[in-house]
């Protein structure tokens, strides 16, 4: 990142946020693969990803899990939001998450085709653009630029735990404005829908929910973008209408019935994949569009989610998978 980019970021988000983010990134723990919190951290000592990959092939599942990885589908979800202004009835919000685009070059054209063929009004990407948590992020940007070229003009991204703050200028040059504890607004017929995006709450814990909520009036409809679902209780207390998250990959490699074997954050099972609610907060944890570490999926299909927003009516109107 160029010096002028640092200065621009500092001016935009403040010296405290930028320097603290850089400090946390520089910590040795930030370089650990997966940044997990497990007791034994076997991945420090064993090439777990390679072993899993070999194991899947030995079980005759190599072809299946890779087909699953590339078998991204568009899933439709409907939401009834009490504060949604009438002008936004039926608004279509496209969510992609956990792209990890440099893991396998064959994924980008799949996503590109789906985005191009899915009409939507605004698009969001809820973090994790690269496969590893450090190293070169350049290879992701060309693919991201191809994908964002088919996004609606109103589009935003946030950072996940695989993303460093130095990626922000490149993400924005690739056509994805990034919300760093910032809020954007969408205007229709004089009414406003607010999109609040927080910095990574999982590993770097640089999120500021009260700050992003303060930008919108108390009675406003505010959709929260948070890479990980784990801040749901604080989000409910602060007061958001809908939280969109990813990070868990829904488990990525699951037992039959979608039962996850490993979940990369400490949340109850109900927050790992799909629709959930907590008090007055409704939420959705996407199982992810891409995959991490190995290009494989088992009993946990990847998705792009098309959220339909409604002012009234049943909370879940005929969800379907085309
Ligand atoms: Fe993540």
Q: How far is the CA of 30 from the centre of ligand 1 (A)?
A: 13
Domain assignment present for residue 58? The answer is yes
Q: How far is the CA of 160 from the centre of ligand 1 (A)?
A: 5
Domain assignment present for residue 14? The answer is yes
Q: How far is the CA of 59 from the centre of ligand 1 (A)?
A: 28
Q: How far is the CA of 248 from the centre of ligand 1 (A)?
A: 7
Look-up of token digits 């504060």: 83
Mean pLDDT by 10 residues, the chain (322 residues): 91 96 80 51 62 77 90 98 96 98 96 98 97 90 97 98 96 98 97 98 96 97 98 98 97 93 87 96 98 94 98 56 44
Q: State residue 235's pLDDT score.
A: 98
Q: Residue 278 forms beta bridges with which residues?
A: 281
Q: State residue 320's pLDDT score.
A: 43
Q: Residue 298 forms beta bridges with which residues?
A: 253
Domain assignment present for residue 319? The answer is no
Q: How far is the CA of 227 from the centre of ligand 1 (A)?
A: 7
User: In angstroms, what CA-CA distances link 291 with 101, 133, 193?
Assistant: 9, 14, 31
Please, is 314 exposed, middle or buried when counting C-beta atoms within 10 Å of its C-beta (0-12, 13-18, 19+)?
exposed
Q: How far is the CA of 231 from the centre of ligand 1 (A)?
A: 14
Report pTM.
Answer: 0.92
Looking at the chain, the number of H-run helices and the number of E-run strands are 9, 13
Q: State residue 196's pLDDT score.
A: 98
Q: What is the DSSP-derived secondary structure letter of residue 298?
A: B
Q: How far is the CA of 187 from the centre of ligand 1 (A)?
A: 30
Q: Rounded to an integer, what distance in angstroms lies between the CA atom of residue 50 and that of residue 207? A: 33
Q: How far is the CA of 161 from the centre of ligand 1 (A)?
A: 5
Domain assignment present for residue 77? The answer is yes
| CA 221 to chain centroid | 20
Q: How far is the CA of 247 from the centre of ligand 1 (A)?
A: 4
Q: What is the DSSP-derived secondary structure letter of residue 178?
A: B
Q: How far is the CA of 129 from the centre of ligand 1 (A)?
A: 9
Those residues with Cβ within 8 angstroms of residue 7's Cβ, 6 or more apart along the chain or in another chain: none
User: In angstroms, what CA-CA distances link 249 with 52, 270, 318?
Assistant: 16, 13, 23
Domain assignment present for residue 254? The answer is yes
Contact 49, 34 (CB under 8 A): no
Domain assignment present for residue 218? The answer is yes
Contact 24, 30 (CB under 8 A): yes
Domain assignment present for residue 226? The answer is yes
Specify the number of domains making up the chain: 1
Q: State residue 289's pLDDT score.
A: 98
Q: How far is the CA of 85 from the centre of ligand 1 (A)?
A: 32
Q: How far is the CA of 88 from the centre of ligand 1 (A)?
A: 30
Q: What is the CATH number of the domain that holds 247?
A: 3.60.21.10
Contact 131, 162 (CB under 8 A): yes
Q: How far is the CA of 200 from the centre of ligand 1 (A)?
A: 9
Q: State residue 12's pLDDT score.
A: 95
Q: Rounded to an integer, what distance in angstroms lies between the CA atom of residue 309 and that of residue 184? A: 17
Q: State residue 58's pLDDT score.
A: 79
Buried b (16+ CB within 10 A) or exposed e, 133-146: beeebeebbebbbb
Of residues 258, 256, 288, the one with CA closest to residue 72: 288
Q: How far is the CA of 162 from the centre of ligand 1 (A)?
A: 6
Q: How far is the CA of 214 from the centre of ligand 1 (A)?
A: 26
Q: How far is the CA of 246 from the centre of ligand 1 (A)?
A: 7
Look-up of token digits 């693919």: 143
Contact 311, 125 (CB under 8 A): no
Domain assignment present for residue 320? The answer is no
- Read off φ and ψ for residue 227, nearest 5 degrees: -55, -50
Q: How far is the CA of 265 from the centre of ligand 1 (A)?
A: 9
- Residues spanned by the domain of 171: 3-32+41-310
């Amino acid at each position: 990142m160029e010096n002028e980019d640092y200065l621009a970021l500092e001016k935009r988000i403040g010296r405290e946020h930028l320097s603290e983010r850089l400090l946390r990134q520089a910590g040795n723990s930030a370089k650990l693969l997966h940044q997990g919190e497990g007791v034994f951290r076997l991945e420090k000592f064993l090439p777990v990803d390679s072993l899993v990959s070999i194991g899947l092939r030995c079980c005759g599942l190599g072809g299946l899990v890779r087909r699953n990885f590339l078998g991204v589908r568009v899933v439709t979800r409907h939401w009834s939001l009490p504060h949604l202004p009438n002008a936004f009835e039926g608004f279509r919000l496209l969510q992609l998450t956990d792209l990890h685009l440099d893991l396998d070059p064959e994924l980008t054209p799949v996503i590109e085709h789906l985005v191009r063929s899915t009409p939507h009004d605004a698009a969001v990407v809820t973090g994790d653009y690269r496969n590893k948590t450090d190293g070169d992020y350049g290879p992701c940007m060309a693919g991201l630029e191809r994908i964002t070229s088919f996004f609606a003009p109103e589009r935003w991204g946030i950072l996940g735990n695989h993303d460093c703050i130095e990626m922000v200028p490149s993400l924005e040059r690739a056509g994805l404005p990034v919300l760093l504890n910032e809020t954007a607004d969408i205007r229709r017929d004089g009414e406003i829908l607010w999109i609040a995006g927080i910095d990574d709450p999982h590993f770097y814990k640089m999120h500021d929910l009260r700050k992003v909520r303060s930008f919108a009036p108390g009675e406003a409809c505010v959709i929260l973008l948070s890479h990980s679902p784990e801040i749901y209780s604080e989000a409910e207390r602060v007061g958001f209408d809908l939280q969109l998250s990813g990070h868990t990959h829904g488990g990525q490699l699951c037992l039959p019935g979608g039962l996850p074997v490993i979940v990369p954050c400490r949340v109850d099972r109900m927050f790992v994949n799909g629709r959930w609610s907590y008090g007055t907060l409704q939420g959705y944890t996407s199982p992810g569009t891409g995959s991490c570490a190995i290009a494989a999926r088992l009993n946990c299909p990847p998705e792009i989610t098309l959220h339909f927003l409604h002012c009234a009516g049943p909370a879940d109107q005929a969800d379907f998978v085309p």
